[in-house]
Amino acid sequence: MHARAATAMTTALLGTAALLLPATDVRAVEDGTPPAIIAHRGASGYAPENTLAAVDKAARLGAVWVENDVQRTRDGKLVVLHDDSLRRTTDVEQVFPGRAPWKVKDFTAAEIARLDAGSWFGSVYAGARVPTLKQYVRRVDLHHQKLLLELKNPELYPGIEQETLKLLGNEGWLDRKHRSRLVVQSFSAASLRTVHDLKPAVKTGFLGRPPMADLHAYAVFADQINPSYAAVSRAYVAAVQAFTGPHGRPLEVSTWTVNTADAARLVAGYGVDGIITNKPDVVRDALRE
């Protein structure tokens, strides 16, 4: 096929991928041995972050877990995007030139649905959209993947914890089977406490590195402590894992963002439970060596 025709076909497929893609069964490549490998914003080293294309790429690479970032539109819809502004990862400046600083919270879901969230990454991804959270969890489910869902900037969106849990419940993600495939994480301890109080059965992860002396307080509402990999050590990981979390199991550590084989081997040697990476294949290959 001519390259341009192939590109056009790929672009078309991205729009209707849920109908056309085979449902990759990533359970087939999971052996359950820690550390879990978590595709950060999807396989964002290879596809535009936080898009359905990045979920699909993660599935094709055999990544059982994907991580995403959830925020809220002006009309109250939950969408998947990292920055609080649409500027970096969409064409919002061209489509809505008079709307600086292009904050997610200032746009309706219909406006955001018009934006191209793929071209900034590569022309083959032109036409990729900012997914709604509903679209996103359906795609993750299609691939039988697990979800590390980050509540991003929850201080900007009062009530987003309850709304996120409601959507997850409506989509079946709070039933017993799905709950084992879900962790809600945030840099906001207050937000995680709210999630834990609203739905104690849901696992939560605190993003950051609390002092060891404070870990007992986090163990009341958080199942995971998830620090930057530059901030962890074997001693810190062991200290976290010595605590029992709210579900009666040892606290876990997933660390980010690990994109090289050397870093993957280093943190695996620390005994972490999860490695969050833009390149799940690089981490997988490093751990297999």
In the complex, the residues that contact Ca ion under the rule CB under 5 A are: 69, 150
Give the residue, chosen from 24, 39, 47, 69, that forms a contact with ligand G3P under the rule CB under 6 A: 69
The DSSP secondary-structure symbol of 132 reads B
Catalytic residue among 82, 143, 178, 196: 82
256 binds ligand G3P (CB under 6 A): yes
Residues of span 218-247 touching ligand G3P by CB under 6 A:
none
Q: Does 55 participate in binding ligand G3P (rule CB under 6 A)?
A: no
Cα–Cα distance, 115 to 127 (Å, whole number): 8
40 binds ligand G3P (CB under 6 A): yes
Q: Please state the closest distance from residue 263 (CB atom) to ligand G3P, in A.
A: 14
* Strands, E assignment, the chain: 36-39, 65-72, 78-80, 146-151, 182-186, 203-207, 224-226, 252-255, 274-277
C-alpha–C-alpha distance, residues 94 and 145, integer Å: 35
Residue 67 found at the interface with ligand G3P (CB under 6 A): yes
Catalytic, 178? Answer: no
Decide: helix, strand or coil at residue 273: coil
**14-47 as b/e, with b when 16 or more CB fall inside 10 Å?**
beebeeebeebebeeebeeeebbbbbbbbbbbbb
Of ligand G3P, Ca ion, none, which one sits near residue 276, judging by CB under 5 to 8 A according to partner kind? ligand G3P
Contact pick of 207, 219, 263, 272 for ligand G3P (by CB under 6 A): 207
Binding mask 148-177 for ligand G3P (x = CB under 6 A): --x---------------------------
Supply the residues annotated as catalytic. 40, 82
